[in-house]
Amino acid sequence: MSTVELLSKKHILDNRSILFHCVEASEQDIDLLAKHHANVVHCPISNIRSGAGNMNLCSMLQQDINITLGTDYLSHDMWETMRATYGELKQGMRPYRYDACTVLDMATRNAALIASETSYQGTIIEGSGADLLFLNAHHAISPIIDTPDFSNATHNLLIYARPEMITHVMVNGKWVIKNKEFVTVDEQEVLKKYAEIVTKLFPEQDNP
């Protein structure tokens, strides 16, 4: 019996369930996830680097399962995660059915469904918690074309943006990073404490 089958049998699989990776999920498992409106966190970079395997992303999307994105296995680059997901979709059964907006929704709007206890809503609309990234309008993203008939804004943001382009970060309307520097914590103090912990754990290692 698979994990998904066991959760369903024990009546603990529902819209509050959050399952990570799901690389071994069968078609029957996917049917159960859809039936119970469970949430899935896709971690493609972790799956690649750990050799865990590939999640059946297209099949889950076709069943309208809520899928959001996660980082794992010492990977914290959400743009890398989004691009890997985009590549999977383009190699899937229906490459033209899913676009950059599909992936961006996974990273934002879909994530809000499993963050109900926070202010995060995954959208930039009146009433949403102001969780915002501000990017330098780098030439790598340009030119941005956004007309009623054609837009490359989301595609360019997904494919060409990099974390180093982020200049400011706001969480729930409060600045966390301004001009690429933390304003809520002392970054150097955190690094110092981290180095002390590493030294205690691995005293024989040469640490910077």
What are the tens digits of pLDDT across the range 48-103? Answer: 999 999 999 999 999 999 999 999 877 789 999 999 999 999 887 777 889 999 99
The predicted structure's pLDDT at residue 204: 73
> What's the CATH number where 4 sits?
3.20.20.140
Count of domains observed in the chain: 2
Q: How far is the C-alpha of 131 from the C-alpha of 171, rounded, in Å? A: 4
Q: How far is the C-alpha of 78 from the C-alpha of 120, rounded, in Å? A: 17
Residue 124 lies in a domain: no
144 shares a domain with 76: no
149 shares a domain with 76: no
> Residue 177 belongs to what domain range?
130-208
136 shares a domain with 66: no
The predicted structure's pLDDT at residue 68: 97
67 shares a domain with 164: no
Q: How far is the C-alpha of 51 from the C-alpha of 75, rounded, in Å? A: 14
Last residue within a domain, chosen from 92, 118, 144: 118
Residue 125 lies in a domain: no
Q: How far is the C-alpha of 144 from the C-alpha of 152, rounded, in Å? A: 6
139 shares a domain with 44: no
Q: How far is the C-alpha of 163 from the C-alpha of 143, rounded, in Å? A: 19
Parallel, antiparallel or unpaired: strands 166-171 and 132-135? antiparallel
135 shares a domain with 114: no
98 shares a domain with 180: no
The predicted structure's pLDDT at residue 93: 73
172 touches 131 (CB < 8 A): yes
Specify the residue for token string 């899928």.
67
CA distances from 132 to 14, 15, 20, 183 (A): 30, 27, 25, 15
Q: State the first-to-last Cα distance of the chain, in angstroms, to the nearest integer.
A: 48
pTM of the model: 0.85
Low-confidence ranges of the chain (pLDDT < 70): 205-208
User: Residue 168: is it exposed, middle or buried by C-beta count within 10 angstroms (0-12/13-18/19+)?
Assistant: middle
109 shares a domain with 7: yes
Last residue within a domain, chosen from 90, 118, 146: 118
